[in-house]
Amino acid sequence: MEVDEVVCLPRLSRVAVCGGTHGNEMSGIYLVKELLKARKKVMEDEEEKPVSVMLVLSNPRAVQQCRRYIDTDLNRCFTHATLSGPMSDTTPYEIIRSRELNTMLGPKGSPGAVDLVCDLHNTTANMGLCLISYSDCDWICLHIFRHLQASRDRSCTHMPDVPLRYIHFDVSNKESYSLDSVGKHGFAMEIGPQPHGVVRSNVYTAMKAGVQHMLDWVSFFNSGTVFFCFATRFVDVFTMVKRFDYPRDSETHDITAAVHPQLQDRDFCLLHPEDPLFQTFSGETLRYKGKEPLYPFFINECAYYEKGIALSLARKRRVMIPAIRVQTEQEEQSNEQRFTSEEEE
């Protein structure tokens, strides 16, 4: 790719903002409910900004009961295999709901899928505001992230001064498992720390500002704004490379240690070989035995105890992002004709 090349991308006509994929992550639930109450104003905005915004409470039964899920984790139900598998009278509620959401927002991987899915989440880990994506070269998601960074750095905006990171899960589209993978573009907006079942004003405010700036960016993009790369062409991307479980008793499988005090709450602080990792309940320090320094995140996440995950580790690298603009109508028609010709062949 040439350094000064401007990449032309299709218009983002339909955007979905989803909350309550996990029914006890309260910021997204209350934000979607608030936006639904203000729907009339949102519709007025849409007349000025050429984008249709769908507001979705993803897991209404779990939201009603303030539980992460009813039968199984909804945010693991969007692989192609799960979406196309057999159904029966005993099919878990969340798998049924994933089919409904796939019909509403997808189908996944099809030309009819919504253009962008923003799925709202909270974490108990000290992670600030993160965008989590399956791609490290989705220029839409990366430019939205840069826009959030620029908005935070400008004192005249309402974006809170919160740490921002871009996390990349290196998983194929076929194996991608979360709701945001249903859209042509998508990411989870993960904000913490916040206990599950609780809403904290500062965390809610950060999420609300993040969603508003994201929607503003989409409107700017659709209006024909050319997005150059601000002061830098690079974004720091944290690619997840491994996960650690807690030490466990070989017979009972109970955990035998907690995250070490020197590591707790130090998400995205570089973990070096021989740094403290866990402290056993008898007081022994267990150290990180990896061969390279890596960045820990989702440290001691409450919801991951059942998944056997104490923390994840990422490798950081710099990704160069190109300038982008929306395709013109002529370019869109040309691409559609090319796509049709390829299908006929």
- For the annotated catalytic residues, the residue numbers are 190
Would residue 328 be called left, alpha or beta, if left means φ above 0 and alpha means ψ between -120 and 50 degrees? beta
DSSP code of residue 70: S
CA-to-CA distance for 266 and 193, rounded, in angstroms? 12
**HSE-up (13 A, CA, CB side) for residue 218:** 28
Q: Is 213 annotated as a binding residue?
A: no
- 22 annotated binding-site participant: yes
Provide CB contacts within 8 A for 183, sequence distance 6+: 16, 105, 106, 113, 114, 115, 116, 117
Nearest in space to 19 (alpha carbons), one of 30, 11, 10: 30
260 annotated ligand binder:
no
> What is the distance between the alpha carbons of residues 172 and 175, in angstroms, rounded to a whole number?
5
Q: Could you tell me the two tokens for 98?
A: 């994933």
Of 227, 225, 10, 226, whose CA–CA distance to 114 is shortest? Answer: 10
- Which run of H or of E encompasses 100? helix 93-105
Phi-psi region of 274 (alpha: psi -120 to 50; beta: other; left: phi over 0): left
Tell which residue, 307, 299, 296, 239, has the closest CA to residue 270: 296
List the binding residues for Zn(2+). Answer: 22, 25, 121
List the binding residues. Answer: 22, 25, 121
